[in-house]
Amino acid sequence: MEWLSNIIYYVVPFIVLLGILVFVHEFGHFIIARLCGVQVDAFSIGFGKKLWSRKDKYGTEWKLSAIPLGGYCQFLGDADGASAGVDEKVKELTDEEKKKAFPFQNPFKKLAIVLAGPLSNYVFAIVVYAAIFTFMGKVIFPPIVGDVIEGGAAQKAGMMAEDRILTINGKAISSFDDIRKEVALIDNNNMATVEILRKNEKVTLTFPVTELEYTPEGASTIKQRMLGIKSISRVEVEHQKMGFLKAIGEACRQTWDITEATLRGVGQMITGRRSSEELGGIIRIAEMSGDISKKYGCLDFLMFMALLSINLGLINLFPIPVLDGGHVVIFLLEIITGKEINSRVKDTLFKIGFSLLILLMVFATWNDVVRLFKRWFL
């Protein structure tokens, strides 16, 4: 029955996670389109064969489709759900219908509708973080060893994954950040006495802290004293609830930090300072959502959902034709020049963007397959 267990832990959470985030993204497009007077013909979660549908009184067909790997919001006059072209039948629309058709809107309205999707993902993440901080407390990464670095001081001393660090040189450790701070304060003899909790038993290790090569975000590789451990992916809550306004501020800060770190990571991949093997796709998301749901709890799943929502919003803002960011560039150019870009130029740009997107998806999927092979067979 292991296959049934894997479906429950990996497939179901993945579909739920992606379904919620796609709905949030597309609902942003949908609600602003409605406010701008644009007719939404279809709102679909998933692609391909229609499994269920219902048409509302405004003429929008709400659909669930067979392939749960995305979704779309198709407006009147669009050739497809990506607004990558104009439907040939727009010429047959009446003057009244043209007022509700997306291709006939001014670029300011188009820009607002396109931006609403990514911004909805950001708002969703802030709401999730703020709710957790308000009702539960601030989230931290606990001082639990996720992995030990080969050749590092911790490995040589016998430290193991899942060890929880209680103290370093007598100083209490409550979060993973505390480990970094205390290691930086170790005196010139470089000796660390680390008290750990391993399977409900306290163990004390004394060993010299060595230097390892480290590449801080946005900086060059340096050598730095460290234990040689990586954090675990699980999160814990400090039970100090925040006021609503403070929680909103902390949520915005968390969202900004994740956005900045993601952009730096992408920049490092482009410049070659970071391995492109770290780029993951749909399979990686399914793997991570399954691991979290199997090993941890709802809080970790919510945090992962918020993180993924930020990444989804950010990626969609990249200036690649077909993505929302590509549309943003086009509409901004139209606003600046006061002229609509030639339809043939747009078609060419969308074809290039689509090809680039497919290449990135294939590359990310290849990385995912290689990672899974190493995980299962090596």
Per the CB < 8 A criterion, the answer to whether 296 and 139 are in contact is: no
Cα–Cα distance between 278 and 269 in angstroms, integer?
A: 9
- Indicate if 26 belongs to the active site: yes
Residue 362, C-beta contacts closer than 8 angstroms, at least 6 positions apart:
none
Q: Which two tokens stand for residue 104?
A: 């006939």
Among 22, 24, 25, smallest CA distance to 14 is for 22
The catalytically annotated residue of 26, 182, 236, 250 is: 26
Spell out the alpha helix ranges (H) of the chain: 2-6, 12-35, 95-98, 107-135, 153-157, 176-184, 244-271, 282-295, 298-316, 324-337, 343-377
Query: For 341, which DSSP code?
Result: P
* Tally of CB atoms within 10 A around 29: 26
Cα–Cα distance between 269 and 279 in angstroms, integer?
A: 9
Residue located via tokens 């730096």 = 264
By annotation, the residues acting in catalysis are 26
